[in-house]
A and B are shown apart, each in its own frame.
Chain A
Amino acid sequence: MRPALAVFESYLTVYRRTWRGSVLGSFVLPVLVMVGFGLGVGHFVDAGGRLGPVRYLDYIVPGQVAVTAFNQGSFESMWPVLSGFEWSRTYHSLAAAPLRIVDILGGDLLFIVFRLLTTSVVFLGIAAAFGAIHSPWAVAVPFVCALLGLAVATPVHALSARMTSDSYFSLLLRFGLIPLGLFSGVYFPVTALPSALRLLAYLSPLWHATEVCRAATLPGVPMSALTLAGHLGYLAVWLVVGFWLAVLAFRRKLVS
């Protein structure tokens, strides 16, 4: 654990200089979401009455927290990882030090968890200020977001480690992250989707996290312990398989 903490520490050293900008960013995004989606789009949705008694703002907040974690977990695993192998080559210098592959990956993931937790706490705080949080279970949301973020960060780490140029990232965005972001029940219930797309949603880790987050912040969305365990377990499977793939990809790049 100590070697991984040293890697985490090096990220913090950089972050100490850039945190103001990133915290500002993590304030701006939720405010835009509250005003744009919640009040703007929400005005029309609520007038249509399709969501029943639930305000659109309240509906969308848990999904937005989740999709923010989803994107953050992915982005932190794309260019930074590619750069560490191909541009700045910092991973190669880590491999020359007495660190194991799991230490290097562990340090990366610790930093990502740190970022996921801070971002989602800020997001929830702002959502609460807009009156969009209705349950004390909301305190569990940052942890769900951390799990979701890791569940995507690990396989994306594996992908990025196998790349030699960033041209594939636009494919990953267009055919992976953006469709999943749109069709995972963040903006509307997946029951509104045609069945083929609905299947995609059920496979998406984002949908599972969104379901849990929604149950945690909305009133009157009960979730059985079994369902909850299913959702979290599914995310954990992504995390474990993703970590394993990332270890293989890193080893291939660093130990050859």
Chain B
Amino acid sequence: MIYARGLVKRFGNFTAVDGIDVDVARGEAFGFLGPNGAGKSSTMRMIGCVSPPTAGTLRILGMDPHRQGTAIRARLGVCPQLDSLDPELTVAENLVTYARYFGIPRRTAKARAAELLDFVQLRERADSRVEPLSGGMKRRLTIARALVNNPDIALLDEPTTGLDPQARHLVWDRLFRLKQQGMTLVLTTHYMDEAEQLCDRLVVMDTGRIVAEGSPRSLIDRYSTREVVELRFPDTAPEDVAGKLAELAERVEVLPDRILLYADDGDAAAEAVHRLALGPASVLVRRSGLEDVFLHLTGRTLVD
């Protein structure tokens, strides 16, 4: 469905995407994971045929975005990072007018809009203006709009960024259904739980490059331990304690408020910490997640 080799995007001197290879197969849910500025959105815009690659090869649905951009876009569904709904139209009209851009007859468009409003649970708001909708509703409407042409690939750029937890779960639930229906999903996110829940396969991007690739599980296996022990020391600076903990785990990460011990047997590591009698305020053993992989690969520096 998507084939990219050595894909590069430069804006002047700034290299947003620095030679990435991507393959997405039909029916797959594929994720681009990375901190802000990693090049995820630039990649999505290239796949969406609104941003010509600076170098490299890109084929979408077997077509060349440069020459067949319109034909490709006719078969894509795009949910952009920033809402771009028409505030002067009602909820249903937003879907119908958008369907018309795909050459869908008005009658079919109306039926499709009603169907999609059911799917994203916005039927009662069909005749409402867009303005008073909550952030979660707007996002669901944007997702519905992306599906109006029954796309072969849905491109979702940070579909749940800025939503409250409840709204996020609703969006995830809908996306999961699409995945079950066999739609090819390509999404970007910096939420690890989102990637873990939705993606069959993902790439971790950092400063325009792909730093890791695989299924969520295989990435955790490769770049993290099975379990993680989280320790909090309220009275001591974490850096002071960290040295003493180094031998207890495969790897020790020091965060401002806690220390993470990466160990395959978390309970054993926690036991060892107790024996040192350092007096941590709390000890938590948990399963390792994609977040641990992500932090390991992209570093802990906050990127803005």
Where the two chains meet, the residues of A that have a C-beta atom closer than 8 Å to any C-beta of B are: 2-3, 6-7, 9-10, 13-14, 88-90, 92-100, 254-256
Contact = CB atoms under 8 A, between A and B. Distances in A.
B3 to A, nearest CB: 21
4 smallest CB-CB distances across A and B, nearest first, come from A89-B84, A98-B74, A97-B101, A10-B97
B51 A90 contact: no
A93 B97 contact: no
A255 B74 CA distance: 17
A100 B70 contact: yes
Interface of B: 11, 48, 50-52, 70-71, 73-74, 76, 78, 80, 82-89, 93, 96-98, 100-103, 145
A14 B93 CA distance: 9
B51 A10 contact: no
A129 to B, nearest CB: 33
Contacts of A13: 89, 93, 96-97
B93 A3 contact: no
Given A10-B97, A14-B89, A90-B86, A96 B50 contact: yes
Q: Which of A9, A94, A96 is packed against the most chain B CB atoms within 10 Å? A: A96
Q: Which of B78, B84, B87, B101 is packed against the most chain A CB atoms within 10 Å? A: B101
Contacts, number: 72
B88 A6 contact: no
Contact of B100 (A10, A95, A100, A255): A10
Chain B interface helix/strand/loop/mixed: loop
Chain A interface helix/strand/loop/mixed: helix
Contacts of B74: 98
B51 A255 contact: yes
B84 A93 contact: yes
A98 to B, nearest CB: 4
19 contacts: A3-B101, A9-B100, A10-B97, A13-B96, A14-B89, A88-B85, A89-B82, A93-B86, A95-B50, A96-B48, A96-B73, A98-B70, A98-B101, A98-B102, A98-B103, A99-B101, A254-B50, A255-B52, A256-B11
A254 B84 CA distance: 13
B50 A255 contact: yes
Nearest to A10: B97
A6 B84 contact: no
Contacts of B101: 3, 6-7, 94, 97-99
B103 A89 contact: no
Contacts of A97: 73, 98, 101-102
A255 B70 CA distance: 13
B80 A6 contact: no
Contacts of B83: 89
A97 B71 CA distance: 10
Contacts of B73: 96-98
Nearest to A100: B70
Contact of A93 (B76, B80, B88, B93): B80
A130 to B, nearest CB: 35
A7 B97 CA distance: 8
A217 B52 CA distance: 52
Q: Which of A2, A7, A93, A254 is packed against the most chain B CB atoms within 10 Å? A: A93
